[in-house]
Amino acid sequence: MTAELITGIGELTTNDAPRSGESTRLPGAALVIENGRVAWIGSASRAPDADSRTDVGGRAVLPGWVDTHTHLVFAGDRSAEFESRMAGHAYQAGGIGTTVTATREASEHELVANAKRLAAEALRQGTTFLETKTGYGLDLESETRSARAASSVADVVTFLGAHIVPSGIDRDEYLRLVTGPMLQAVAPLVDFIDVFCETGAFDAEESRAVLLAGRAAGLGLRVHGNQLGHGDGVRLAVELGASSVDHCNHLAAADIDALASSTTVATLLPACDLSTREPLAPARALLDAGAHIALATNCNPGTSYTTSMQYCVATAVLQMRLTVTEAVWAATRGAARSVARDDGVDSVGSLRVGAIADLQVLDAPSVSHLAYRPGVPLTSAVWRHGTRVTAVPSAF
């Protein structure tokens, strides 16, 4: 059992408070990692001896990003669709069908390799915990291999057979498949079930049936809701006690109130909002009302082809009116809450004694630089489960 001391920390974000905006940022700090976990935190001047020592030279240290909404299992490219959107054409859920065709044609090896490429890209940028989904297979065999591919790269896997009704199958028949044989085939490989509750995808009653089937199979609940217009996604997620409702661009006052009085986390996806030219989700109003929020990339080939949590944090600060502390919290401990990993023995998203030692070093003295220097890749070193996966540069 060896201990590693990380010292010379200019500012240590611990996220030790359970709510957004109350997080501690300690100056002149040090931290000890032992057995993959945080073993000690305090002032650098009182740091204990350790087997090895890394001096980060006055840089900021914070928890690794917790990205709880991605769609990494896919094949193909939709840059032409993106260009057409930027030329003024609206995003429609039906674009998903293009990726379904390419994903069905790809081998499982190709799907795993592509997902691993994106997971590695995310890790280099400080993402130490990943959720990813199925949802581009949409037949029994393709969803099953998507679930296998997802579980080979992600910490948490979500079954999204109810993404759209694929072409060539009757709607009711497809719903029977998703809630029956497909669910049974993927259930051992996944943690959550999800449904795209939106015009062009699934209505409220169909979504309810999908979620209840998932719950009966022992899965947690997540919902894609209120992305392209006002709808029933948020209401349904809160009613069923879902862990998270994701997107939340079009919220009525009643949706915000419902979220504020629930345990459901509103997972906001600003990179997607910009890439689809949807209004940014009302993050400020949600926080002011007392709702729990998370920030995630929604990395996928259609609406949000980025793995950069830093971009999401900068957008949340610069355009969604969160403070830096609130945005960082939402991208770390807030996100961990949506997968029930914000507390307890396997907690991620905070740096407290006993938490998993997932952390990143910025090439900056403070987390404020994440938004103060937008577009500059600031993550310069990453530890995952206590092991350093990228080197600390010597110059600062």
The amino acid occupying position 106 is A
Measured distance CA(329)–CA(350) in Å, rounded: 9
The amino acid occupying position 93 is A
Helical H segments across 35-135, by residue range: 79-86, 96-105, 108-124
- The distance of closest approach from Cβ of residue 277 to ligand NIG in the complex, given in angstroms and rounded to an integer, is 13
- The distance of closest approach from Cβ of residue 128 to ligand NIG in the complex, given in angstroms and rounded to an integer, is 22
Q: Should residue 272 be labelled a site residue for ligand NIG when binding is judged by CB under 6 A?
A: yes
Measured distance CA(213)–CA(207) in Å, rounded: 10
Cβ nearer to ligand NIG, comparing 128 with 298: 298
Window 99 to 118, contacts with ligand NIG (CB under 6 A): 99
**What number of chain residues touch ligand NIG (CB under 6 A)?**
12
Q: Should residue 161 be labelled a site residue for ligand NIG when binding is judged by CB under 6 A?
A: no
- The only residue of 146, 303, 308, 379 in contact with ligand NIG, by rule CB under 6 A: 303
| Nearest Cα to Cα of residue 300 among 55, 16, 75 | 75
* Site stretch for ligand NIG (CB under 6 A), options 91-99, 121-129, 326-334, 352-360: 91-99
- The distance of closest approach from Cβ of residue 186 to ligand NIG in the complex, given in angstroms and rounded to an integer, is 18
| Nearest Cα to Cα of residue 118 among 83, 71, 79 | 71
Q: Should residue 227 be labelled a site residue for ligand NIG when binding is judged by CB under 6 A?
A: yes
- The distance of closest approach from Cβ of residue 325 to ligand NIG in the complex, given in angstroms and rounded to an integer, is 27
Q: Should residue 132 be labelled a site residue for ligand NIG when binding is judged by CB under 6 A?
A: no
Residues contacting residue 216 through CB under 8 Å, at least 6 positions apart: none
Q: How many residues does the chain have?
A: 396
Question: Rounded to 5 degrees, what angle do the CA atoms 73, 117, 339 make?
Answer: 55
Cβ nearer to ligand NIG, comparing 202 with 329: 202
Q: How many helices (H) and strands (E) are present in the chain, helices listed first?
A: 15, 16
Tell me the three state secondary structure of residue 188: helix
Cβ nearer to ligand NIG, comparing 95 with 386: 95
Measured distance CA(269)–CA(186) in Å, rounded: 26
Q: Should residue 307 be labelled a site residue for ligand NIG when binding is judged by CB under 6 A?
A: no
* Site stretch for ligand NIG (CB under 6 A), options 147-155, 298-306, 317-325, 350-358: 298-306
Cβ nearer to ligand NIG, comparing 59 with 85: 85
Measured distance CA(322)–CA(312) in Å, rounded: 11
Q: Should residue 95 be labelled a site residue for ligand NIG when binding is judged by CB under 6 A?
A: yes
* Site stretch for ligand NIG (CB under 6 A), options 16-24, 92-100, 168-176, 310-318: 92-100
- The distance of closest approach from Cβ of residue 169 to ligand NIG in the complex, given in angstroms and rounded to an integer, is 19
Structure tokens at 224: 């894609």
Q: Should residue 96 be labelled a site residue for ligand NIG when binding is judged by CB under 6 A?
A: yes
Structure tokens at 305: 């082809």
Binding interface with ligand NIG (CB under 6 A): 71, 95-96, 99, 196, 224, 227, 272, 298, 300, 302-303
